[in-house]
Amino acid sequence: MRCHPHLYEINTWPWLDRLSRRQGREVRLGSVPGREWDQLAAHGIDLVYLMGIWRRSRTGRQIARSEPALFRAYNEAVPGWRVRDVVGSAFSVSAYEPDPRIGTWDDLAGARAELHRRGMRLVVDFIPNHTGFDHPWIAENPDRYLQGDEAAFRRDPAAFRVVEDEEGGVRFIACARDPFFPPWTDSAQLNYFSEDTREAMLAELRRVAAHADGARCDMAMLVVGDVFARTWSHLLTGSPPAPEFWAKARAAVPGFTLIGEVYWDLEWRLQQLGFDFTYDKVLYDRLLHGRPEDVRAHLRADLEYQRRSARFIENHDEARSAAAFGDRVRAAAVAMSTVPGLRFYYDGQFEGRRVRLPVQLAVEPEEPVDAGLAEFYDRLLAAVDAPVFHDGEWRLLEVAACDETASLIAAWQWAAGGERRVVAVNLGSTTAQGRILADVGGSSEEIVFDDLLAGRSYRWLRSDVERQGLYVRLEPGRAHLFRLRAAEVVNEKW
């Protein structure tokens, strides 16, 4: 796998529904048309993350179909949705086996083989913190879950589900939660103070690893010892077990790619526990809402940390980038695609989809393709597929001021042997200009800067660039991606 791989996330159930409608037949993972995989390979994708392939909880589905608080999101995404379109959350699972609508183990193996044939790898979900309330462990191994007594249930009934055993006794099993939000009523909280729970989840991870090449680990920081202890202090006694679960997980599945959904400044810690990549929500937030200087400050972090950061401008949890970033989406896309780390794309991003689909829905709305944005992504993905963006050395560049707008520009370069790429993005809301202090390399006195996004070329004297920097002027939300070459090399084809 390349040092800075490209990942493409697919919300599998609605994607298969889309393909089924196009084909006029039911499409499952084993019968996906080969051209779908071909298109991803042609875009330079290394990892395909099939989100939501595991068997969904029937209890979770009933909750998703009967909770009015969720209906507003359904209405906004798919007006006219029907109850049968609500299949339950992809993150409330009853078993780590393919959901019947997705296919069988053979279908999953076939999809994986198709990816491998094209040089791509398969990533699936691993949900360490919780299961659905109809997971077999609820009846067979209830002590693997965090539980309260009747007094705790009376104090906060929304935080528990009452589960009856075969003898008529009851247990008060805690609903899983992020400590900053209300409980997830469709998910049962696993108890990470229990060695039996930890060992059982390691066994589940090994099972997943036998059928895929990597896993996106949902809310990975929730099972870190001190985080779990703080979140559930009112129901726990004692100290968190050692070593950390993720350290044991890393040892349990060597060579298996672990991608952590991580927040709260715990990214570096999870990397040290063995994650290959962790979410970089900080970069996302700063590109969306922050100041350009905040983006540059974030990119001054340790290079090893950055190499193991997953960069994105949308995924199934976030608003669609075309809607969220508006006219600034191109600059944001260039930024996330040309800095070190895993570059994380989402199905529909290249076409400019604007509707964020709730994870409980099996159908998606029809949306027109933004032809201009699709063409832009074709150019961008072709450019960043070049080896220099994966094997090269990356360096953040300074931008000398022509006026106060220079502060809106962020710039960096990649170098590998004689190859050079220089990237400049305007992260502001007004036109900006500045002089980029780049290392142009080579020995030619005249240098051509080919803008691989715009299809235009600019000639500069080396002495001018070295003395005063490369002058750029960018409209808001626009970017340059320059390939540098000696002027005597004639190659004007794009």
Q: Is residue 98 part of a domain?
A: yes
Can you tell me the distance from the alpha carbon of 125 to that of 130, in angstroms, rounded to the nearest whole number?
12
Q: Is residue 160 part of a domain?
A: no
Residues 281 and 235 in one domain: yes
Provide long-range contacts, Cβ within 8 A and 24+ apart, for 28-35. Answer: 28/101, 28/102, 28/103, 28/104, 28/107, 29/53, 29/98, 29/102, 29/103, 29/107, 29/108, 29/110, 29/111, 30/103, 30/104, 30/106, 30/107, 30/108, 30/110, 30/111, 31/107, 32/111, 32/114, 34/114
Mean pLDDT, residues 229-253 = 94
Does 283 fall in a domain? Answer: yes
- Residues 90-115 have pLDDT tens digits of 999 999 999 999 999 999 999 999 99
Same domain, 334 and 398: no
Interval 460-479: pLDDT, tens: 998 899 889 999 999 999 99
| CATH code (residue 369) | 3.20.20.80
Beta bridge partners of 214: 123, 257
Whether 493 shows a pLDDT value over 90: the answer reads no
Q: Which helix (H) or strand (E) holds 410?
A: strand 409-416
pLDDT digits (tens, 9 = 90+) for 57-91: 999 999 999 999 999 999 999 999 999 999 999 99
Report the alpha-carbon distance of residue 44 to residue 341 in Å, rounded.
Answer: 15
Asked if the model's pLDDT at residue 211 lies above 70, the reply is: yes
* Same domain flag for 382 and 471: no
Q: Do the domain assignments include residue 142?
A: no
Are residues 403 and 285 located together in one domain of the fold? Answer: no
Our count of domains for the chain comes to 2
Alpha carbon distance 267, 275 (integer Å): 9
DSSP secondary structure string for all residues of 137-183: HHHH-GGGB-EE-HHHHHH-GGGEEEEE-TTS-EEEEEEE--TTS--
Same domain, 257 and 364: yes
Residue 340 and residue 371 share a domain: yes
Compute the distance between CA of residue 344 and CA of residue 276 in angstroms, rounded to an integer: 14
Judge if 370 and 420 occupy the same domain: no
Q: How many residues would you count in the chain?
A: 494
| Domain stop point among 364, 389, 414 | 389
Query: Do 84 and 41 fall into the same domain?
Result: yes
For residue 311, what is the enclosing H or E element? strand 309-311
* Contact between 145 and 174 (Cβ < 8 Å): yes
CATH code assigned at 415: 2.60.40.1180
- Output the DSSP codes for 225-246: HHHHHHHTTTT--S---SS-HH
Query: Is 252's pLDDT higher than 90?
Result: yes
Beta bridge partners of 448: 459, 485
Please check whether residues 337 and 443 belong to one and the same domain.
no
Would you state the pLDDT for residue 494?
44
324 closest CA partner among 279, 359, 289: 289
Using one digit for the tens of pLDDT, what is the confidence trace for 399-408? Answer: 998 899 999 9
Separation between Cα atoms, residue 432 and residue 455, nearest integer Å: 21
With a pLDDT cut of 70, the percent of the chain lying above it is 99
Which residues constitute the domain of residue 269?
A: 6-133+191-389
Same domain, 366 and 428: no
How far apart (Å, rounded) are the C-alpha atoms in residues 359 and 216? 15
Of the residues 363, 389, 415, the one at which a domain ends: 389
Q: Are residues 316 and 465 in the same domain?
A: no
Q: Is residue 240 in some structural domain? A: yes
| pLDDT on residue 448 | 93
What the block records as the tokens of 388 is 């220099």
Instruction: Please write the tens of the pLDDT for every residue from 146-173.
Output: 999 999 999 999 999 999 887 888 999 9
Alpha helices in 385-428 (DSSP H): 388-391
Residue 418: pLDDT band (50, 70, 90) is confident
Please tell me the distance from the alpha carbon of residue 432 to that of residue 426, in angstroms, as a whole number: 7
- Inside any domain, residue 477: yes
User: Of 368, 389, 410, which one is at a domain's C-terminal end?
Assistant: 389
pLDDT at 488: 67
In this prediction, residue 490 carries a pLDDT of 47
User: Quick one: 107 and 216 in the same domain?
Assistant: yes
CA distance 228 to 222: 6
